[in-house]
Amino acid sequence: MNHRLIAGLTALAAIAALGTAYFAQYVLLLTPCELCLYERWPYRIVIALAVIAAALRPRASRLVLFLAAFTLLGGAGIAFLHIGVEQYWWKSPLPECNGALIPGAPLPLFPATPCDRPVFLIPHLRISMATMDFCVALSFALLLLAYVLPKRRRNR
């Protein structure tokens, strides 16, 4: 397959994922928590990597898309962390999610939207946006890895 096509599709998929988050925030008026905002960064990085990959030769492009896949795996990790916070498996490592006292601050800072309160994009479908992001980021990463990793050839 053409490496520029794959890079373009990668950029478009990352833009769609990021666009969904912005649509939820600015059109549906769903307030993101701090972990939600962190979950957006891998997609921004993947967009930049995909644009770079489109400008390179095929071999270098595969390497950059490999980095994009690992960036998405990192994004899936952030989403999984967020799912754990929503399910009360653990506390968020971010102090702004926990209302923790920040050194030098006179009072605890409380988030507008706590990280342990799931946000649902689709009414009546109890799948949080963090869970959706985990599924999207992991699937996206595995698809990219399937493209960039060398295929084994069998001799018969």
**Does any domain span residue 58?**
yes
Q: Please give the tally of structural domains in the chain.
A: 1
**Does any domain span residue 154?**
no
d(C-alpha 81, C-alpha 75), whole Å: 10
Secondary structure (3-state) at 120: strand
**Does any domain span residue 127?**
yes
Higher pLDDT, 81 or 97: 81
| pLDDT of the residue at 73 | 97
- pTM: predicted TM-score of the whole model, two decimal places: 0.84
| pLDDT of the residue at 33 | 85
| pLDDT of the residue at 98 | 64
d(C-alpha 35, C-alpha 96), whole Å: 9
DSSP designation for 25: H
d(C-alpha 34, C-alpha 92), whole Å: 10
| Residue span of the structural domain in which 81 resides | 3-101+109-148
Higher pLDDT, 93 or 68: 68
Query: Residue 81 is part of a domain; what is its CATH number?
Result: 1.20.1550
| pLDDT of the residue at 78 | 95
pLDDT in tens, 95-127: 777 655 455 555 445 556 777 788 787 877 888
pLDDT in tens, 4-59: 999 999 999 999 999 999 998 889 888 888 888 899 999 999 999 999 999 999 89
d(C-alpha 152, C-alpha 56), whole Å: 24
Q: Give the Å distances, CA to CA, from 108 to 5, 111, 119, 143, 150.
A: 49, 10, 23, 43, 51
Cβ contacts of 153 within 8 Å, gap of 6 or more:
none
**Does any domain span residue 49?**
yes
| pLDDT of the residue at 66 | 95
pLDDT in tens, 125-134: 888 889 999 9
**Where does the pLDDT of residue 93 fall: very low under 50, low under 70, confident under 90, or very high at 90 and above?**
confident
Between 58-86 and 3-26, two packed helices, what is the crossing angle to 10 degrees? 30
Secondary structure (3-state) at 101: coil
